[in-house]
Amino acid sequence: MKKIALFVAMVVAILASYSMAFAYKNTILVDGKPFYYNVPDITIKVAGQNFDTGNTPPLILKDSTLIPVRVISEKGFGAKVEWDDKTKSVTITKDKTVRLTIGSDVALVDGKEVKLVAPARIIGIGNEGYTYIPFRFLFETFGYKVEWDQKNYQINAASPPKIANITSFTTSYNNGVFSVNITADSPIKYSQGVIEDPGNIRIYVDIENAIWDKGRIDIPINKKSLVNAVIAQNQTQPVPKVRAVIYLTDVVPYNITKSQDSTNLTISFDVGTSYVTGISFAKEGDYDKVIINCDAEQFNTQKVGDNKIVVDISDAILKMPDGSKAGQIPVQGNVITAIRYSQYNNDTVRVVADTTGKADYSVKILDKNIIMLVLKSQPNEMPLIYIDPGHGGSDPGAIGVGGLRESDVVLGIALKLNSLLTKGGFRTTMSRDSDVFIDLVTRSQEANNAGADVFISIHTNAFGTPTPKGTEIWYYPNGYKGDTRDNKTFAQIIHDNLMKEINTVDRGLKEGPNLSVLNKTKMPAILIETAFITNPDDAALLQDDAFQWKVAQGIYNGIVEYFKKLKEGSISATVSNSVYDTNNTNSNP
């Protein structure tokens, strides 16, 4: 009997010990009311290590697991915690600001509302009151991955991954391979995908837990089917993500590689190399014809002064019959006096036509040849205006009030402007006259290759809230990176005439060095944000036919004044040669 009694006593002692170690029993105050709490202990492990919350244990109330805000935030995250007794709210600050109000199931994270599974509440333990909130919200808000182990009543939290700061976004070309390079200060983790629309292919890379703090960057590429590369911060919550997108008009073989330390990501495209194998000349009536034997798909043209027309063929190697890397062909044309050529740099062949004076030209690809037709300008010939209604086709642009599409609005304005210009005797060409997709590089290339005298891109503005409204005009900064165009004068003249016709908020002139249609064009160029499609007042104007005619009339009046001042000599016409290396004596235009 004594042995049995001893055994029973031992069992009771063990059970008592088990109960004390694995159950929390206490009378607590919940929302000011006494509540007898008797639930198994909840343990917290952060990165595999036990986290002690002291005399404020995690609790389970009404099927919600709650944790004490202050001890977790201050000791666990190193955050600052402030209590406002007047508003009965607690604010947690570290990288982001979290505000919770007692009794409310809505929290504010950096000013944005987040729904809670249970409200924040005051729990009285002993003689003190403590703020408790749902465990998952607090951990996940600060980047921790959390799991609830029901069997062991345990919260497992994995430390947030290290944030990678993207430090550079560049492009390069070598031996037929074009690369987009992304560099970070710590290892990169990414996912990839492809979106295929006819003529508009997008290859994207999403970099998880990454920050890009330089805003949206757009790098024009203009090589074979590659159009441009874009990088931007895609999202900040729940984890930061950076997205890089490469736009193509057709499929190009590519691969993605990482450096050994995973801090550099390279997206490589096999664009191949073209060869210039011959150059010839012919007179055809009043025209001079230059034939460049080449299988290239990409080239760019510009006028330099009144005596030179330059054609640059990208991704190309000079392979003339005599093996020369530079040369000159004397000719006696209607206006061309000589044709010069050279291997301008590792991947560009330059062909220059010297003329006796100002000439009009067009350059096109025909049967694997680049054909340049040159005609002496007539003394009274009207200028050529390139009109660019933005977006189109698979790219509707901004969507405004009532589903109004930017691409539709700007096409309407552009067609009206074209009508006014042609009636006024001007020569015109449009990037599009219907709802079709045209990539950004093609727009500027067409204007350059057609020898346009000015370039006008028409858009509507947009914003995330309906408040902003008004009209603004963007231009490439005068003198920026050696650009020789006087874009500001052109922008100012158009602005002044436009604002006389329309009654919108005047937002003035803006510098846009990163806008492709402004930094790739060679003639004076502007981009007009006619009004905000996301503002109710502006949107009503934009879809009004009479207002569209006023916009077109204002732009037309500005064009007339600009060329009148050019003729008078009070301003001077300019073209850009900023992309050329004037130290290269073999290939200077």
What are the domain boundaries of the chain? Answer: 2-78+124-158, 164-270, 274-376, 384-568
CA dist 204 → 134, 190, 194, 226, 333 (Å): 36, 10, 6, 13, 49
The domains spanning 164-270 and 274-376 adopt the same CATH topology = yes
Average pLDDT, the chain: 87
Q: Contact at 8 Å (CB) between 179 and 275?
A: no
Indicate if the pLDDT at residue 65 is higher than 70: yes
**Where does 274-376 sit in CATH, by number?**
2.60.40.3500
Model-wide pTM > 0.85: no
Antiparallel, parallel or unpaired: β 506-511 and 80-84: unpaired
Antiparallel, parallel or unpaired: β 43-46 and 49-51: antiparallel
Out of 182-191, 249-258, 502-511, 574-583, least confident range: 574-583
> What pLDDT band is residue 340 in, cutting at 50, 70 and 90?
very high
529 has catalytic annotation: yes
For residue 198, give the DSSP letter: T
Q: Which residue has the higher pLDDT, 196 or 5?
A: 196
Tokens of 315: 């991704």
For the stretch 434-459, pLDDT in tens is: 999 888 888 998 898 888 999 999 99
Mean pLDDT of all residues in 292-315: 84
pLDDT at 227: 86
457 vs 443: CA distance, rounded Å: 9
> What pLDDT band is residue 396 in, cutting at 50, 70 and 90?
very high
Could you tell me which of 283, 276, 301, 281 has the C-alpha nearest to residue 291?
A: 281
415 vs 497: CA distance, rounded Å: 19
> What pLDDT band is residue 548 in, cutting at 50, 70 and 90?
very high
For the stretch 261-285, pLDDT in tens is: 999 999 999 888 888 999 999 999 9
Out of 125-134, 310-319, 372-381, 414-423, least confident range: 372-381
Residue 240, helix vs strand vs coil = coil
Q: What are the residue ranges of helices labelled H in 309-405?
A: none
Tokens of 486: 């006087």
- The shares of helix, strand and coil residues in the chain, as percent rounded to the nearest 5, are 20, 45, 35
What CATH class does 164-270 carry?
mainly beta
Helix pair 406-423, 545-568: axis angle to 10 deg: 50
Could you tell me which of 159, 155, 161, 160 has the C-alpha nearest to residue 45?
A: 155
For the stretch 483-500, pLDDT in tens is: 889 999 999 999 999 999
Mean pLDDT of all residues in 163-187: 90
**Where does 384-568 sit in CATH, by number?**
3.40.630.40
Could you tell me which of 169, 313, 168, 166 has the C-alpha nearest to residue 246?
A: 169
> What pLDDT band is residue 537 in, cutting at 50, 70 and 90?
very high
For residue 160, give the DSSP letter: P
338 vs 374: CA distance, rounded Å: 13
For residue 76, give the DSSP letter: I
CA Rg, the chain, in Å?
34
Q: Contact at 8 Å (CB) between 461 and 468?
A: yes
pLDDT at 5: 45
Residue 554, helix vs strand vs coil = helix
Neighbour-count burial of 121, counting CB atoms closer than 10 A to its CB (0-12 exposed, 13-18 middle, 19+ buried): buried
Tell me the backbone φ, ψ of residue 420, rounded to 5 degrees. -65, -40
Q: What are the residue ranges of helices labelled H in 61-187?
A: 69-71, 135-141
Residue found by looking up tokens 């034997």 in the block: 293
Indicate if the pLDDT at residue 296 is higher than 90: no
349 vs 314: CA distance, rounded Å: 7
- As beta bridge partners, residue 365 has 370
ω into residue 240 within 30 of 0, thus cis?
no
> Which of 406, 446, 501, 529 does the annotation list as catalytic?
529
pLDDT at 577: 58
> What pLDDT band is residue 15 in, cutting at 50, 70 and 90?
very low
**Entry field: residues in the chain:** 589
For residue 336, give the DSSP letter: E
CA atoms within 13 A on the CB side of 582: 6
377 vs 344: CA distance, rounded Å: 28
Angle at the Cα of 439 from the Cα atoms of 436 and 445, rounded to 5 degrees: 115
